[in-house]
Structure formats: C-alpha cells, structure tokens
Amino acid sequence: MTGSPLPTRFILERYRELLPVTDRTPMVTLGEGGTPLLRSRSIEKELGLKALYFKLESMNPTGSFKDRGMVLAIAKAVEDGAKAVICASTGNTSASAAAFAVRHGLKAYVIVPDGKIAMGKLAQAIVHGADIVQMAGSFDDALNVVRELATRHPVALVNSVNPHRIEGQKTGAFEIVDELGDAPEILCIPVGNAGNISAYWRGFQEYYELEHARQLPQMWGFQAEGAAPIVNGAPVAHPETIATAIRIGNPASWDMAVDARDRSGGRIRAVTDEEILEAYRRLAAEEAVFCEPASAASVAGLIRQHREGADLSGKTAVCIITGNGLKDPDTALGVTAQIHRAEADLPSVERALGWA
C-alpha cells in the first residue's frame, strides 16, 4: 500500500514565486518549514476561544523558527559569493546559522552575550563547528559589533537586519493560512529583535493581497517585562529576563513591529517572568508542548489579555511556539518535580511509587 504523495515541505520550493529565489540560488534544505499546527486541548476552552492553535516552529531542524529565514539568507549569501557568515545571537540564530553554514561549506562566526545563552543553543553552535565569541554586554552590544565587522571583513551578516531573513520567515504566515483556509483573528508571538512579528505581518498581508486569505489577523506581540522597549517606548539599557532568547533592549526591527501592531489593530504588551514560567509549565503539563521560555511568552500574553478583559469568544488564535524546550534544560530542571528514589529491586520501586 502506498500513501498519497506529500506536498513539498521545502519552503524555498513551495513558496518560490513569493520569495527572492533565482536560478542561481542554491536550493539547499535541512528540512525546515511544514511545521505542525497543533490544536489546544485545555487553554482554548478556558479562554473561551473558538479555536486555539500552537504553530510548532520548535520542530524545525535546529529546533527554532530561525531556520525559515536562515535557509534563504545563507542561500542568498552563497549566491552572492560569500565564504563566511556572521551573526550576533541570543542563541537560536547562531544555532541555525552554524547548521546551514555547514551544509553550504561556509565558515560561521557567532557572537553571543556572555553567560546569557541557553546551554542547548551553545551546544549546537559548538558541534556545528562555528567560531564562537562570548562577548561581555548584551545582545544589542553584540549586534552593534557584528554590523560593523560585516562592513570591515569579508563576511555576510545573517541577522534579521539582512532582508532575506524576514523574507524567508514570512512563510510561517503562508503555512497557517494554507492550513486553516484563512488567517486567524489573532496571532500571538514573542517579540525580541522584532524580526518575526514583522515577517508574519508581511506574510499575512501578501496572502491577503493575493486573495489567499479573506482577513488579516490582529498582531499581538509580547515582550518580557524586564526587556520591553517597544512597550515602554524607549530602549532598555540592561534588559533582564529568564527568557534569554528575548533578552533584547533595542530591537532592530522596532519600526516594522510597531507598524504591524498599528496597521493590524493589534497590541504589543509585556508579561512578567512569573507569567512566562506559568505558561511554560502549563504548555508542557496540559498541552504536551515543551517549548523554551521565550516561546511561552506568546501564550502567557494571550492568557493575560483574557484576564484583563479581552473578548476572545468566537475567535481563532494562533500562538507561535518559536523554540524547543530541550534547548534550555536548566529552566526545565527548575520546575518543581517529584522524583522518587529506589533501590534496584521491585518492592523498592513499588514503595517509591506508593503502590506498596
């Protein structure tokens, strides 16, 4: 017996007409895109939504949404003759850049804020053979440095200030509409450097203009309270949050994110680290979604908006689950758990389980 043929998941192929792909673009893939849209089993009902979905971008090849933009940014860098790429990163961008660089036979240089990057992400950059600099200061300081480095040295900058990153990233919005048949009423997304919210808005708009979607979603972005420059309306000099991925005080795509918020009738709000951790625990324990803390900010934000009186009835919402929980085992191990100890025999294990 054979199944029906699967549509290609390869986003550069699938959405070629809507991307800056040329005959000279190397069509290299690691299997990015085509990520599941998982229906909520618990939080949806509590919030009174018609439907709540989690877009599991955590299932991309390097475990985060970054692969969508990176597959294109690095292919275009190669098309333009680059031999090396560089990025600043809170972790996921560097993991993705390092992996795609390997596949293209390029050198990757990554600059990360010292001590503030989740262990799994650092491990990825290491195993993929990137040259890693841990820099004192924040992500924002690192981004300033790499922007300058890319003008002085023969390396292609693959942070989301590279327009190909946003272009590739917008395919996430295409997939949501392709699967649901229309845009949702609400799109919830964590905001750090603000590339992703800008990319999704662009994707939804393009699909709307092509009449693939009948409506546009409200863009609801969420920052961590200690790293909420867009919410505050001013850069944050020393951003702090447990969600290290979005520990960013001066987002590069600030203006585009504000534009997405305002033109969609949306909002960008802050959530506390406690709310992020609560949503993180609930996603894992009630929905079987193991994400990293930054990703839980989208769900924490939706829950808070509901608590503060937003009427969600009859609406469909999609929360972008941007990164895999395995990247940040330290946070997972900090969740209170009951681990029982036992000797190496059956009665002892039965006693430990409370069954004897």
Nearer to ligand AN7, 124 or 205 (CB): 124
Residues in 4-63 that interact with ligand AN7 by CB under 6 A: none
CB-based contacts of 201, cutoff 8 Å, min separation 6: 173, 219, 256, 259, 260, 263, 264
State the Cα angle at 324 between 163 and 277, rounded to 5°: 110
Q: Out of 35, 89, 162, 264, point to the residue binding ligand AN7 (CB under 6 A).
A: 89
What character string, x for contact with ligand AN7 (CB under 6 A) and - otherwise, covers 245-274?
Answer: xx----------------------------
State the Cα angle at 287 between 6 and 71, rounded to 5°: 45
Instruction: Read off the amino acid at residue 258.
Output: V
Nearer to ligand AN7, 204 or 315 (CB): 204
- The answer to the question of residue 203 lying near ligand AN7 (CB under 6 A) is no
Nearer to ligand AN7, 76 or 165 (CB): 165
Contact 275, 223 (CB under 8 A): no
**How far is the C-alpha of 151 from the C-alpha of 161, rounded, in Å?**
13
Nearer to ligand AN7, 186 or 256 (CB): 256
- The answer to the question of residue 92 lying near ligand AN7 (CB under 6 A) is yes
Look-up of token digits 């994110």? 257
Only one of the segments 23-31, 187-195, 269-277, 341-349 lies at the binding site for ligand AN7 (rule: CB under 6 A); that segment is 187-195
Question: For residue 344, with 0-12 CB atoms within 10 Å meaning exposed, 13-18 middle and 19 or more buried, which class applies?
Answer: exposed
- The answer to the question of residue 323 lying near ligand AN7 (CB under 6 A) is yes
- The answer to the question of residue 193 lying near ligand AN7 (CB under 6 A) is yes
Beta-bridge mates of residue 313:
49
Nearer to ligand AN7, 88 or 315 (CB): 88
Contact 322, 196 (CB under 8 A): yes
Q: Count CA within 13 A, CB hemisphere, residue 72.
A: 28
Only one of the segments 36-44, 77-85, 192-200, 346-354 lies at the binding site for ligand AN7 (rule: CB under 6 A); that segment is 192-200
Residue 192 Cβ vs ligand AN7, minimum distance, rounded to whole Å: 3
Instruction: Read off the amino acid at residue 102.
Output: V
Nearer to ligand AN7, 172 or 315 (CB): 172
**How far is the C-alpha of 321 from the C-alpha of 190, rounded, in Å?**
9
Nearer to ligand AN7, 185 or 292 (CB): 292
> Whose CA is closest to 125, among 160, 155, 94, 87?
94
Judged by the rule CB under 6 A, the positions of this chain that interact with ligand AN7 are 64, 89-93, 160, 190-196, 245-246, 292, 294-295, 322-323
